[in-house]
Chains A and B, each alone.
Chain A
Amino acid sequence: AQSVTQLDSQVPVFEEAPVELRCNYSSSVSVYLFWYVQYPNQGLQLLLKYLSGSTLVKGINGFEAEFNKSQTSFHLRKPSVHISDTAEYFCAVSAHSGYSTLTFGKGTMLLVSP
């Protein structure tokens, strides 16, 4: 079984500041790693995912994440946030050997203020 821990439930930040949303996972098997974003009153959409290869993954809207196998982490970063980045962000994993079944973290609410 897998589990995902998002260490911060809320992250307040000012516009144009950098941000890091933290994600750690636990699994006895190899996993794929995902970040999804949920804008207010919408469904989730994929921000980025790590499948293999380079540990630095670039996604949409200027976000990137780095896979660290030794620390079992997949932290999400953006060098300069905008008001429009205000949303809830979910880290998720799926086991290599399984179907497309995601285990989600509890989410981190990113609050960007002017």
Chain B
Amino acid sequence: EAQVTQNPRYLITVTGKKLTVTCSQNMNHEYMSWYRQDPGLGLRQIYYSMNVEVTDKGDVPEGYKVSRKEKRNFPLILESPSPNQTSLYFCASSAGLASATQYFGPGTRLTVL
């Protein structure tokens, strides 16, 4: 089954404790992306990757890091989480063209205390 998986699905942590949210896709997609969803703000892009070892900032990259060492994986790293990063995070992947459908993971709900 074609899918995007994220782990963990739920995470409660404290300010300053480094964390990683994993994302993996099994569709051989070139393009992967991270979004955060906040009430009343819709989805905003954090980072994206057009291929292995190629990443770029989205609209709200501050406080986040990503890496793309393998085509299927695109982890999101919060080196020093803060309460304003409490949010619902989605990973997505696509074939890469602007016309392509993006496939979303189930989401990770992060709470930073």
Contacts and interface: CB of A to CB of B under 8 A. Distances in A.
A107 B42 CA distance: 6
Given A90-B42, A104-B42, A96 B104 contact: no
B99 A94 contact: yes
A85 B43 CA distance: 20
B98 A98 contact: yes
Instruction: Report the contact-size class of chain B (Cβ under 8 Å from the partner).
Output: 20 to 34
Contacts of B104: 36, 43-45
Interface string B43-79: 1110010100000001000000000000000000000
A32 interface: yes
A106 B42 contact: yes
Contacts of B95: 100
Interface string A73-114: 000000000000000001000111111111011110000000
Contacts of A34: 101
A42 interface: yes
B109 to A, nearest CB: 9
B81 interface: no
Contact of A101 (B33, B90, B106, B107): B33
A44 B42 CA distance: 12
Contact of A43 (B40, B48, B98, B107): B107
Contact of B40 (A9, A46, A100, A104): A9
A97 B98 CA distance: 7
Contacts of B99: 32, 49, 51, 94, 96
Contact of A102 (B50, B97, B102, B105): B102
Contacts of A44: 43, 90, 92, 102, 104
Contacts of A98: 98
Contacts of B45: 101-102
Q: Which 3 A-B pairs have the closest CB atoms?
A: A43-B104, A106-B42, A100-B94
Interface of A: 9, 32, 34, 36, 41-46, 49, 51, 90, 94-102, 104-107
